[in-house]
């Protein structure tokens, strides 16, 4: 299978392999949720943070997406969502996300809880394979992207998937949730 040119562009200098065929790169829960035609690439775990990978492997910032987990409470009930935005933006947690969750205050889920409840490693959390009761808020710019580089669930690899496949995830909602990066 040949790698589409746009998929390779978002992978920078890194070699892409079919994600579904490389169990060593993709955890089981994520692999079960992988859209067909997704790609994976192995990385040094020290490069799992977006800017480090951009700098080391010539990965384009506008072709990378980040997934952050946010929560808030309303009437004693916690509401959790994974927010997926392009890496050259940031999630509007205190505006759009707070309104969408219908909470008075939204904040990032503490790292230990995000890791435990997602079953993924910090710095590798992806919208694929998350708990079924979490909302997945996909920014419209991510959904409109041909391909995006995103976490794989672990710090030793990344995935390259179509933006439309992220928008089609079972709990996904495509919305405008991003602000320009600071």
In terms of DSSP H, where are the helices of the chain?
5-10, 28-33, 50-57, 98-101, 111-118, 140-143, 163-167
Going edge to edge, which strands form the sheet with 39-42?
A: 17-18, 39-42, 157-161, 148-151
Helix (H, G, I), strand (E, B) or coil at 85: strand
Asked whether residue 73 carries a pLDDT value surpassing 80, the answer given is yes
Provide the pairing of β-strand 135-139 with 77-86.
Answer: parallel
Please state the pTM of the whole predicted model.
Answer: 0.96
User: How far is the CA of 54 from the CAs of 30, 107, 158, in angstroms?
Assistant: 23, 26, 12
Q: Which residues of 9-37 are buried (b: 16+ CB within 10 A; e: fewer)?
A: bbbbebebeebbeeeebbbebbbebbbeb
Count of domains in the chain?
1
pLDDT at 85: 98
pLDDT at 5: 95
pLDDT 10s digits, 58-67 = 999 999 999 9
Asked whether residue 182 carries a pLDDT value surpassing 90, the answer given is no
In terms of residue numbers, what domain contains 142?
5-180
Residue 1's pLDDT band, with cuts at 50, 70 and 90, is: confident
CATH of the domain at 54: 3.90.960.10
pLDDT at 150: 98
Rounded mean pLDDT, 133-145:
97
pLDDT at 120: 96
pLDDT at 24: 92
* Adjacent-strand bridge partners of 108: 70
């Amino acid at each position: 299978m040949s790698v589409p040119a746009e998929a390779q562009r978002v992978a920078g200098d890194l070699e892409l392999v079919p994600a579904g065929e490389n169990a060593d790169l993709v955890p089981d829960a994520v692999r079960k949720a992988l859209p067909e035609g997704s790609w994976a690439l192995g990385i040094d775990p020290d490069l799992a943070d977006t800017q480090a990978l951009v700098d080391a492997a010539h990965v384009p910032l506008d072709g990378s997406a980040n997934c952050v987990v946010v929560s808030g409470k309303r009437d004693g009930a916690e509401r959790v969502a994974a927010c997926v935005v392009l890496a050259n933006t940031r999630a509007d947690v205190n505006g759009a996300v707070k309104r969408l969750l219908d909470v008075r205050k939204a904040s990032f889920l503490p790292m230990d809880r995000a890791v435990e409840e997602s079953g993924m490693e910090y710095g590798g959390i992806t919208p694929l394979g998350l708990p079924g009761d979490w909302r997945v808020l996909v920014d419209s710019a991510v959904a409109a992207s041909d391909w995006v580089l995103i976490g794989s669930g672990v710090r030793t690899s990344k995935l390259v998937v179509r933006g439309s496949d992220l928008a089609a995830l079972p709990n996904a909602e495509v919305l405008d949730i991003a602000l320009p990066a600071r």
